[in-house]
Amino acid sequence: MPTGLRALGLKGWRTKLRYAAMTLMACLGLTVATFFILDAVYPPKLDRFNTVSSEVVGADGSLLRLFPVENGRLRRAVTLDQVDPLFVDMLIAYEDKRFHDHTGVDLLAVLRAGWQALAAQEVVSGASTLTMQVARLLEPRPRTLPSKLIEMFRALQLERRHSKQQILEMYLTLAPYGGNVEGIRAASLAYFGHEADRLTPDEAALLVVLPQSPTGLRPDRYPARARAARNKVLARVVGGIGLDAHLAALAARAPVPPMKQQPELSAPHLAARLRADGGAPLKRTHIDAILQKQMEALALASARRLQENASLAILVVENKSRKVISYVGSADFTNTARDGFVDMVTAIRSPGSTLKPFIYGMAFDQGMAHPRTRIMDEPRRFGTYAPNNFMDTFYGEVTISEALRRSLNVPAVAVLDRLGPVHFTETLRHAGARLALPGEEKPGLAVALGGVGMSLEDLVMLYAALADDGQVRPLKLLDAPNQTAPATNTTLLGADARAALRHILTGIGAPGDRLPRKYQQNPRHIAFKTGTSYGFRDAWAVGYDGGYTVGVWIGRPDGTPMPGHFGSNTAAPVLFDAFGYLPQAPVTAPSSGFLTAQALPPGLKYFDRPQLSVLTGKRVAPLTLAFPLADSVVALTGGTTPITFAAQGGELPLQWFMDGKPLPSSRWSRNATLMLEGPGFYRVSVTDRNGHQVSARFSAQDTLR
pLDDT at 439: 76
As a whole number, mean pLDDT of residues 446-472 equals 96
Q: Which residue has the higher pLDDT, 585 or 99?
A: 99
Write the pLDDT tens digit of every residue in 491-527. 899 999 999 999 999 985 533 454 556 666 667 789 9
Common-topology check for domains 73-253 and 611-702: no
pLDDT at 680: 87
pLDDT at 130: 94
The yes-or-no verdict on residue 224 having pLDDT over 80 is yes
Q: Which of 353, 407, 455, 685 is labelled catalytic?
A: 353
pLDDT at 124: 44
d(CA 370, CA 311): 38
Query: Which among 427, 367, 372 has a CA at the least distance from the CA of 404?
Result: 372
The yes-or-no verdict on residue 462 having pLDDT over 60 is yes
Active site residue 353: yes
The DSSP element (H or E) to which 693 belongs, if any, is strand 693-702
Q: 553 CB contacts (<8 Å, ≥6 apart)? A: 312, 313, 344, 345, 349, 456, 538, 539, 540, 571
pLDDT at 35: 56
d(CA 300, CA 330): 8
pLDDT at 548: 97
pLDDT at 15: 76
pLDDT at 606: 85
Active site residue 95: yes
User: Looking at 284-298, 557-571, 577-591, which range is the least confident one?
Assistant: 577-591
pLDDT grade, residue 217 (50/70/90)? very high
Q: Would you list the domain boundaries of the chain?
A: 1-41, 73-253, 268-609, 611-702
As a whole number, mean pLDDT of residues 82-107 equals 92
User: Is the domain 611-702 a CATH 3.20.20.80 member?
Assistant: no
SS3 category, 374: strand
Q: Which residue has the higher pLDDT, 135 or 122?
A: 135
d(CA 464, CA 317): 8
pLDDT at 123: 47
Q: Are strands 548-555 and 324-328 parallel, antiparallel or unpaired?
A: unpaired
Give ∠ CA 246-248-251 in degrees, rounded to 5.
Answer: 110
pLDDT at 588: 66
CATH number of the structural domain 73-253: 1.10.3810.10
As a whole number, mean pLDDT of residues 327-344 equals 94
pLDDT at 512: 43
pLDDT at 141: 85
Write the pLDDT tens digit of every residue in 384-419. 888 998 778 899 899 999 999 999 999 999 999 999
Mapping DSSP onto H, E and C, the string for 250-310 reads: HHHHCCCCCCCCCCCECCHHHHHHHHHCCCCCEEEECCCHHHHHHHHHHHHHHHHCCCCCC
pLDDT at 510: 37
The yes-or-no verdict on residue 256 having pLDDT over 50 is yes
Give whole-number Cα distances, 561 to 37, 308, 418, 554, 575, in Å. 71, 12, 32, 11, 21
Question: Residue length, the chain?
Answer: 705
User: Looking at 179-183, 358-362, 606-610, 677-681, which range is the least confident one?
Assistant: 606-610
The DSSP element (H or E) to which 528 belongs, if any, is strand 527-532
pLDDT at 202: 97
pLDDT at 598: 65
Amino acid at 469: D
d(CA 115, CA 654): 120
Q: Which of 53, 54, 55, 95 is labelled catalytic?
A: 95
pLDDT at 119: 59
As a whole number, mean pLDDT of residues 29-41 equals 63
d(CA 78, CA 55): 12
Architecture of domain 268-609 in this structure: 3-Layer(aba) Sandwich (3.40)
pLDDT at 193: 92
Query: Which among 676, 597, 620 has a CA at the least distance from the CA of 644?
Result: 676
User: Looking at 420-429, 509-518, 639-648, which range is the least confident one?
Assistant: 509-518
Ordered DSSP codes for 454-493: B-HHHHHHHHHHHHTTSEE---B-B--TTPPPPS--EE-S
pLDDT grade, residue 611 (50/70/90)? low
pLDDT at 690: 80
State CA 390 to chain mean position distance.
32
pLDDT at 172: 98
pLDDT grade, residue 316 (50/70/90)? very high
pTM of the model: 0.80
Q: Note the maximum CA span of the chain.
A: 159
Sign of CA dihedral 72, 78, 82, 85: positive
Question: Rounded mean pLDDT of the chain?
Answer: 87
As a whole number, mean pLDDT of residues 576-603 equals 75
User: Looking at 302-316, 341-355, 382-396, which range is the least confident one?
Assistant: 382-396
pLDDT at 125: 52
pLDDT at 592: 56
